[in-house]
Amino acid sequence: GERVGAPIARPHQILCIGLNYSDHAAETGQAVPAEPILFTKSPNTLVGPYDDVRIPRGATKTDWEVELGIVIGRRTSYLDSPEEAAAAIAGYCVVNDVSERAFQMERGGQWSKGKSAETFNPAGPWLVTPDELADVRNLGMWLDVNGVRRQTGSTKTMIFDPYVIVHHLSQFMVLEPGDLINTGTPPGVGMGHDPQIWLRPGDVMELGIDGLGSQRQRVVEPR
């Protein structure tokens, strides 16, 4: 079939919120954060929903994360309230926040290193406008690896909902149209399993969110 690209092109930035699901924070043994934990992903990680995910050179702990992506619709800064954030959101999409945990945790403690390898941000298949969703704060989400269900969750266990996140980030930076915000993942990441499970070339990830469609990626060798 024809290739489907990401539903947004060349975002000015990809912002990510860490530990934003109460059940995922528990799985990692970390405290629920008092305010959103922010890290960034290189914008050139963005690929389509069915594109291959390439293991980086030297990687040993490549992991999956199904996430709700927020796409910003207009230039935004210093919002007065979370309620105001709704007007700044163009829509939502499925994102796989692929992560290399050794690079993330063991290479200076800088999360961006583990998040920014090429192909590490499949997005889409669609950008769904807010009016199409009954409640973005109550969407089921899932991810399978090789046909085995690994993540099952819902945006209802988010600590900071999309409106709170956009309001919060607007206090620290100017958000631009097309900016993508990855809002965190529910439990079931490879790092959270006992024993831990990591992606290998040949693995297939399938993932989706209610109302936002689904993705499928094949994992390929380093180049």
180-182 vs 14-18, strand pairing mode: parallel
**CA separation, residue 74 to residues 13, 86, 92, 122, 138 (Å):** 14, 11, 14, 23, 25
**N-term to C-term CA, the chain:** 24
- Residue 205: the pLDDT is 98
Q: Can you tell me the distance from the alpha carbon of 115 to that of 101, in angstroms, rounded to the nearest whole number?
A: 9
What is the enclosing helix (H) or strand (E) of 121? strand 121-122
Q: How many residues does the chain have?
A: 223
* CATH number belonging to the domain at 14-70+83-220, selected among 3.90.226.10, 1.10.3720.10, 3.90.850.10, 3.90.550.50: 3.90.850.10
Helices (H), 116-161: none
Written as one letter, the residue type at 184 is G
**CA separation, residue 112 to residues 9, 43, 89, 119, 154 (Å):** 21, 11, 24, 14, 25
- Residue 130: the pLDDT is 97
pLDDT in tens, the chain (223 residues): 789 999 999 999 999 999 899 877 777 777 888 999 999 999 999 999 999 999 999 999 999 999 999 999 999 999 999 999 999 999 999 999 999 999 988 888 778 899 999 999 999 999 999 999 999 999 999 999 999 999 999 999 999 999 999 999 999 999 999 999 999 999 999 998 999 999 999 999 999 999 999 999 999 999 9
- Residue 67: the pLDDT is 98
Map residue 169 onto helix, strand or coil.
helix
Q: Can you tell me the distance from the alpha carbon of 65 to that of 68, in angstroms, rounded to the nearest whole number?
A: 10
Determine if the pTM surpasses 0.85.
yes
**CA separation, residue 76 to residues 8, 10, 37, 104, 129 (Å):** 18, 18, 20, 29, 18
Q: Can you tell me the distance from the alpha carbon of 108 to that of 85, in angstroms, rounded to the nearest whole number?
A: 34
Q: Can you tell me the distance from the alpha carbon of 14 to that of 181, in angstroms, rounded to the nearest whole number?
A: 6
DSSP 8: S
Domain boundaries, the chain: 14-70+83-220
- Residue 23: the pLDDT is 79
Tokens matching residue 189: 């990441």
Closest CA to 67 of 172, 169, 180: 180
